[in-house]
Amino acid sequence: MDGAYSRLIPIGAERMHVRIWDADGPTVMIAHGVTGTSADHTPLARNLRARGFRVIAPDAPGCGRSDPSPDPENGYGLGTMAVTVRSFLDAVADGPVHWVGASKGGALGIRIAGETPERIASLVLYDVGTTLPDAMRGVLGERLGGPPRFPNMGAFREHVGRFFERAGAALSADRLDEITIGWSRRLDDGGVGYHYDPALSNQFRNNPEDFALWPWWDRVACPALIMRGERSNVLSEAELAKMAARNPRAAAHTVPGAVHVDMLDSAEMQNTIIDFITAQGLSGEGVAA
């Protein structure tokens, strides 16, 4: 059994959907990438729960079953999202959380840990740095603003499978089903499309500060683990080294053979993440007030 249950958390007039795996230990927050959902990292969530951690995995605003931002122009920038997620954490977590963030979810963790260090006990980042090349921002802004449509779930599943294969991160059949379901929505004409709000693309045009995160990274006071996929096209080896050098509480780890688009399913990656969080102690030792 998965062991998770869902809640809809009110944030102003909107609601955020979250999956929760309850346990008696400290809370771990799993934050997905820009167009991900709470289904992205369920194997990691299950293994964290098996090790005694309570896990919360929300759909970010505009993703999955969460409402879209009421401000489509700037509501998906990290500054606004940090305010939203702090309200979310007030409702679902007692005290600081251990944050595991992939891609944009990691960038959001940097922003929150830099602004409000008392919120974050430890920080695990997967394949995200403090910057993003302008060319990649342009491509993402254009691509995410016009998601494709498909005649049925089978066609969408084939599309998602090809996406992961091209990225070099092919999924098992069961995981491909899980991701396909999480990433899909039924369209009014009976077809299938991506789950996310296309206005997510506005972040890449309207929020340049989100791709210059050094001021927030330099204020991160908790223990941090920066994981880089060996074949990443987002986080360079040079930036990884620079981030570790500028923060004495940060450790760098390169995952052999891994790419940017990774669901953190491998035993090696999960053990690295869980061992790091466990090493921080069960009392949130790393929190700086």
Residue whose entry in the numeric block shows the structure tokens 């953190």: 264
Per-residue model confidence (pLDDT) at position 287: 39
Rounded to an integer, the average pLDDT of 54-58 is 98
State the pLDDT confidence band at 283, using cuts at 50, 70 and 90: very low
What is the side-by-side order of every strand in the sheet holding 184-186? 149-150, 192-194, 184-186
pLDDT at 189 over 50: yes
Q: What is the Cα–Cα distance from 33 to 14, expressed in whole angstroms?
A: 21
Q: What is the Cα–Cα distance from 159 to 1, expressed in whole angstroms?
A: 28
Q: What is the Cα–Cα distance from 25 to 10, expressed in whole angstroms?
A: 25
Per-residue model confidence (pLDDT) at position 133: 86
pLDDT in tens, 218-256: 999 999 999 999 999 999 999 999 999 999 999 999 999
% of the chain residues with pLDDT over 70: 97
- Please answer whether residues 64 and 17 qualify as being in contact, where contact means their C-beta atoms are separated by less than 8 angstroms: yes
State the pLDDT confidence band at 90, using cuts at 50, 70 and 90: very high
Half-sphere exposure of 112 (CA within 13 A, CB side): 33
pLDDT in tens, 133-165: 888 999 999 999 999 999 999 999 999 999 999
